[in-house]
Amino acid sequence: MFKLGWFVNGYSPKTWTGPWAGNHASEWTGPNFWIDVARGLERGGFDMFFMEDSAMVEDTYGGTAETTLKYAEMAPKNDPMPLVPLLSTFTRHIGIVSTISTIQYHPYMAARLGATLDHLTEGRVGLNVVTSVSHRVAQNYGYERHFDHAERYQMAEEWMDAVNALWGSWEEGALVHDLEEPRFADHKKVHPVDFVGKYFRTRGPLNTVPGPQGRPVIAQAGGSAPGRDLAARNADVMLGLVKSPEDMVEFRADMDRRLREYGRDPEDLHIFFMAHAFIGEDDAAGKERYQRSVDHRTHPDEIEKRLWTMSYTSGGEIDYAKYDRHGPIPTELGNGETTTHKLMLAAAAEGKTLYDLVTGPMNYGMDFVGSAKTIAAQMDEVMKSTERPDGFLIQGIDDELSRRTLTEITDGLCAELQRQRLIRTGYSGRTFRENLSNWD
């Protein structure tokens, strides 16, 4: 058996054009669409709903925000934190992971918010800890520019140390609830943390009680060496970006080594590998859907959006609008997602043009194509070949998410996976963390 998560690029417009969009262009801001998504995923046996976040209106590409706002590329975007308790009210089991940035949330605010959400969700919240990518995000929070890649991971390690200290500031047994004396809590078991670091300081103790999980499930998505170390020290869940079963094995082995170096059991980290399901009524329909996605790469709108994405993932340092699309791929390395840009440099070393790159496969993760039965068999074969089943983190094709695509996955693919006993058919754990460790 293996696990499933769903990845969505933020509390933002998803499929807002086309025949299956409905009134999503305005509906996305309210609760109903996201409630339908969360309930559908739980019905399908998903372990978690994973939501990215960012806080900027990007204007690197072409030196303007026109492309950003023309296509709704990562803006507008609402704060996902208020969605967490709302979605937990309409579901009973699925874990709900929201992104939290180390430059946007002071450790005390983050620890207090995380504990509060753990209570409100009855133990089903997860926090995806990120360092943020763009200079524009940093500038929105009072910095002149973003920290260099290596330094922001040093900052993130310190941030995690601080929030963990705050979550641990209440000892086990601190809550007394003695109605006769009366005594709510034992003050001798609640301690200041007096945390002083290079980037953060906080006295503590936390002024709220530990939640059902003790601390929220911690997720991490960075694939660089510092990102992997951050996950190895702190994470319960990790996003893996690989292209093949062999890469999965290598990724898992590298993380196992890092976990042991930090004195952790490798079984404590659950890696969800990014995947895309090109599903159809039969194999021919699935292949046709895949081919439509391939053909769409050469559409002018898609090329512009892909160049925009490259400008954003450079950390706001490289404007790909200024380069000849049929010329060589620029080899400068930005300060953003270094793993992404190293892949681009590898393409440059192969002699590819910028046009070759943006019209080629840029989806992260593995592609599965065919009917529900065929894709289920493909997923099973991949997991068996790894000898160490973790899970897949499914993302909509070309970031598509509509009620139609949701139903295709949950009532098509997931139903088949459940029939073959490849994913859970129920939830025996009380909390998100417990369900991650249970194979129902």
| Cis peptide leading into residue 328 (ω within 30°) | no
CB 21 within 8 A of CB 15: yes
Q: How far apart are CA 319 and CA 60, in angstroms?
A: 6
What DSSP line would sit under 71-106, residue for residue?
Answer: HTSS-S-B-STTHHHHHHHT-SS-EEEEEEETTTS-
Nearest to 238 by CA among 215, 251, 312: 251
The angle subtended at Cα 414 by Cα 381 and Cα 280, nearest 5°, is 80
The answer to whether 390 is annotated as binding is no
C-alpha distances in Å from residue 75, one per residue of 23, 53, 57, 295, 412? 18, 10, 6, 26, 31
Q: 153 a known binding residue?
A: yes
Nearest Cα neighbor of 365 from 267, 240, 266, 268 is: 240
Whether 53 has a binding-site annotation, put simply, is: yes
Q: How far is CA 406 from CA 29, 45, 168, 402, in A?
A: 18, 13, 39, 6
Report the distance separating Cα 128 and Cα 218, nearest Å: 6
∠ CA 206-212-213, rounded to 5°: 85
Q: Does 268 appear as a known binding residue?
A: no
**Of residues 404, 419, 427, the one with CA closest to residue 37:** 404
CB 423 within 8 A of CB 380: no
Which pairing describes strands 237-240 and 217-220: parallel, antiparallel, or unpaired? parallel
- Annotated binding-site members for FMN: 53, 99, 149, 153, 224
Annotated binding site: 53, 99, 149, 153, 224
